[in-house]
Chain A
Amino acid sequence: MESTFDLAIIGGGPGGYLAAIRAAQLGGKVALVEMERIGGTCLNRGCIPTKTLFRNVEAYLLARRAGEFGVTLPGDPAVDFRRMIQRKNEVVNTLVEGVMKLLSGHRVQVYDGVGTILGGNAEGWRVGIKGKRGPTEVEEITARKVIIATGSVPSPVPMPGGDLPGVLTSRELLDLDHLPESMVIIGASVVGTEFASMFGNLGTKVTLLGRRTFLKDADEQLAARYKPILIRQGVTVDIGLEFKEIRPKDAGLEVVYDKGGVEKTASGEIILSSAGRWPYTDGLGLEALGIARQGRGIAVDEYLETNRPGIYAIGDVTGRKMLAHVAYYEGMVAAENAMGARRKTDYRVVPECIFTMPEIADVGLTERQAKEADIPYKVGRFPFSALGKALAVGETAGQVRIVCQAESGRVIGMHAMGPHASDIIAEGAMAMRLGATAQDIADTIHAHPTLPEATMEAALGVFGEPIHYRTAGGG
């Protein structure tokens, strides 16, 4: 087999496989090294599986509300958790196979194993590939350029007892063979809160514990509005505490924590640790190469190149924004740069979505961030409860908020909670990218009846009043 390449990519997650395809499109001869399964965390254990489950939960909730929509079911709907997991696996398999076909269609050579950068030679970088399964010899390839895209792994449970059986990460949780009766979730940020919302709605008795802030990655205005919804869905939320330990309790486990000097416990059949993720750099050989680090991640410049020329790093392994769509973007930029371009990264507009029920999505500055940056701003808001389409769909919780610069009216942030918030945030991202004003959004004819009309109404709200919602003085 030919073993000299223009580009070798270590890690086949969203950043890595996209970089491979992009470089191939640009005429490069590409090798992609993956130690597990193409698609990485996103396709196999993160974004896609959780959103498939999310849809399963939605189907269940809708079935429970069938009567409201004039649909009579023969009995009460019930959760078939095995089928839910099975459907998740089917979707994941379809997508992974699709990506594999794309890669082979672009003649990307896929290697199964752990990649190590062994050092440089006259033609570029030598990459060793060691099969993960069984005693295989190290295969060696040479590539002019290398992109490291090895992603991240769940960080260790931050207390004693974290290695007890029954303490799971999202990875194991997504392959449970039954719906747990009860669970304690450690970490009330995006992943923990998404699982709390999903399992809470399926009927699991969920306790969500957070050290400092509830849903710190979301706009605080929306987080404050979401918290009571989550509590009403049956989830117990406790925030502002120090974790002590996990210990066995009856047939399950309990988390011991300190809240304001008082020892408290929360018990469950399983414990989900969602206390963050760490960049994954095992076996890359970074130390021997002298590749500079940034915290636990790999340091890169604005071209995504490390301190060793010709070696790039993208996605979670850089330890910055751990989002699949950021990895996609970086994969594009790094691939083009590896193939000879000089493209700089630009992170001014990065939407973030939280798949709770309802969804929450943010792009740009929150009101608090605008205040902290001394930017005079105005806010317009519009609730879904006043929107025809949301009423028709039967999903009225939440609102859209648009933050814009007071004087110019330029949109500097958009924040949404509600039905398909993750879809409608794209308009705010586009507005920010183009430097559009709230007036531009308000002046754009939005199709009726659709959910993005809430964005148009919120934009109108910046200048005084939306059409379909009153801003009233008392009385």
Chain B
Amino acid sequence: MERPEYLETTVDKFVFRVMADRYYHESDTWAMDENGTVRVGGSDFLQKKNGDVAFVEPRARGTRVAQGEEFGQIETIKALVSLVSPVTGEIIEVNGELEARPELVNEDPYGEGWIVRIEAEDFARDRQKLLEPGDYFILMQEKIKEELGKKK
């Protein structure tokens, strides 16, 4: 399979990537349409900002979530992070692999580190409020600047 394209920026020694094949919520989660069901995870920026993930706590399978609502939390060494759902629908699967290997969220945020699959009510509608990769890339760069500003 051909490697999907991505946008990339390097700040200090850190590389931040935004995959070009999906949509983003402004709260740093991503949504990838897979024929009606939507795979959801956290962005590279989300995991780098919050550090090593110790535990992933998605809401249970069968839970209905609305776009912009929390669909789970991740406990990292630095913060308890609320995960914001990019779509409205029912959680139909949670990534069981994360139970034993929560570090996948850090190691492969766009691949094996996906968090839930949601049966979207109307992805076309939800998509209008999501960001295209290019737009999220710009937003992310602003967020990175802001984070750097905080440290100075």
- Footprint of B on A, CB under 8 Å? 224-225, 227-228, 231, 381, 383, 385-386, 396-397, 399, 469-475
Contact = CB atoms under 8 A, between A and B. Distances in A.
Interface stretch (B2-10, B11-19, B95-103, B121-129): B95-103
Interface string B48-59: 011000110000
A473 B82 contact: yes
A35 to B, nearest CB: 45
B77 A472 contact: no
B77 A470 contact: no
B20 interface: no
Contact of B54 (A227, A383, A472, A473): A383
A227 to B, nearest CB: 7
B90 interface: no
Nearest to B84: A474
B28 A470 contact: no
Contacts of B77: 383, 385-386, 396
Contact of B46 (A399, A470, A474): A474
A466 to B, nearest CB: 9
Nearest to A468: B78
Contacts of A470: 78-80
17 contacts: A227-B100, A381-B80, A383-B77, A385-B77, A397-B54, A469-B80, A470-B78, A471-B79, A471-B80, A472-B79, A472-B80, A473-B27, A474-B27, A474-B42, A474-B81, A474-B83, A475-B49
Given A224-B55, A227-B99, A475 B143 contact: yes
A103 B129 CA distance: 76
Interface in B52-104: 54-55, 75, 77-84, 99-102
B26 interface: yes
B122 to A, nearest CB: 22
B29 interface: yes
B99 A224 contact: yes
B99 A472 contact: no
A475 B80 contact: no
A385 B82 contact: no
Contacts of B81: 472-474
Given A470-B78, A470-B80, A474-B84, 9 more contacts: A228-B102, A386-B77, A396-B77, A469-B79, A469-B80, A472-B81, A473-B27, A474-B42, A475-B46
A225 B54 contact: yes
Nearest to A230: B100
Contacts of A469: 78-80
Contacts of A397: 54
B75 A228 contact: no
Contacts of A381: 80
A228 B99 contact: yes
Contacts of B83: 474
B77 to A, nearest CB: 4
A396 B80 CA distance: 15
Contacts of B54: 225, 383, 385, 397
